[in-house]
Amino acid sequence: MSFDSSRLTAKEIAAFLSDASESEVLALAERYAEDPRKQVQHALALAQKRLLRIREERKRVESLYTLQRALGGEGIIVGVDEVGRGPVAGPLTVCAVVLPDNPYIEGLNDSKQLSAAKRELVAAQVAKVALAIGIASIEPAEIDEKGMTASLRKAMRIAIDKTGVEPDCVLIDGNPVHAHPLEKTIIKGDAKIASIAAASVVAKVSRDALMVAYDTRYPQYHFAENKGYASADHIAAIAQYGLSPIHRVSFCGNFEKGPRLFESPSYQ
């Protein structure tokens, strides 16, 4: 430890314990186990609970990698996930990720379980440690033309190909897609498999950034907030302004009232 804890007041000990490392908490817990001061004992109890949460989180993340290797076997494992099946505007985005067995990515989880700020941090870590990343998007007009199932299959194939690797196993969240001959699908895989979780986060961050950019072009639809999903404000805007070039016409039949006010789409 970097200080003489014997000289600390109860208040100082409590302040230090609030963000002390695991080794520091253990050392202080041993030193002050019999300390009669209530503030010290309360601070120690809180710190030990924090350590328990840290250990549980570490174990959870470790399990993502353990199951990935158990299901994927030896060799190169590609994890695949998508975002954007349900919105009425914007693309379908798929990401494929290859992760090393270590280091573990702190906080890695299904993107839906993370705040926007946490997703950004995790996505940056994925970009830093991933062995390969591939991203593909299918535009709304093609979704309208070919349907979601075919669009999803195409996007997954492109994303896998963009990793530039020859996978020994492809792990995909959800039900069979038939995007790759070596695919295995795992229900709720984005919360169980490290590379699928990483793919879910990168896909979400990538698509969200695109929708924020579209918000500057079509501000009346509130894309920065709704990301293309059918929020009340979004539906009201469609009724007032009609459809933009990035709306999925086939998804909007139940609430489009106005005309299509815009010309051909531009996604580049």
Which among 13-17, 46-50, 206-210, 235-239 has the top mean pLDDT? 206-210
For 106-161, write each residue's pLDDT tens digit.
999 999 999 999 999 999 999 999 999 999 999 999 999 999 999 999 999 999 99
Contact (Cβ atoms closer than 8 angstroms) between residue 107 and residue 121 = yes
Which of the four pLDDT bands, split at 50, 70 and 90, describes residue 257?
low
Distance CA 137, CA 148 (A): 12
* pLDDT averaged over every residue in the chain: 90
Contact (Cβ atoms closer than 8 angstroms) between residue 157 and residue 179 = yes
Instruction: Say if residue 5's pLDDT is above 60.
Output: no
Instruction: Say if residue 268's pLDDT is above 70.
Output: no
Which of the four pLDDT bands, split at 50, 70 and 90, describes residue 6?
low
pLDDT at 200: 98
Contact (Cβ atoms closer than 8 angstroms) between residue 105 and residue 114 = no
For residue 76, give every residue at least 6 positions away whose Cβ sits within 8 Å of its Cβ, in sequence order, or none.
98, 165, 166, 167, 168, 169
Instruction: Say if residue 242's pLDDT is above 60.
Output: yes
pLDDT at 174: 92
Quickly list DSSP for 115-177: -HHHHHHHHHHHHHH-SEEEEEEE-HHHHHHH-HHHHHHHHHHHHHHHTT---SEEEEESS--
For residue 239, give every residue at least 6 positions away whose Cβ sits within 8 Å of its Cβ, in sequence order, or none.
255, 256, 257, 258
Work out the average pLDDT over 92-96.
Answer: 98
> Cβ of 46: how many Cβ atoms within 10 Å?
14
Collapsed DSSP state (helix, strand, coil) of residue 94: strand
Q: Can you give the C-alpha Rg of the chain in angstroms?
A: 24
Q: Which amino acid is at 178?
A: H
pLDDT > 90: percent of the chain: 72
> Cβ of 140: how many Cβ atoms within 10 Å?
28
Q: Which of 7-11, 52-56, 69-73, 76-80 has the lowest mean pLDDT?
A: 7-11
Which of the four pLDDT bands, split at 50, 70 and 90, describes residue 23?
confident
For 166-199, write each residue's pLDDT tens digit.
999 999 999 999 999 999 999 999 999 999 999 9
User: Which one has a higher pLDDT value, 21 or 114?
Assistant: 114
Distance CA 68, CA 62 (A): 10
List 247's β-bridge partners, or say none.
Answer: 89
pLDDT at 256: 52
Q: Nearest CA to 257 among 235, 230, 232, 227?
A: 235
For 243, the token pair is 């459809």
pLDDT at 262: 44
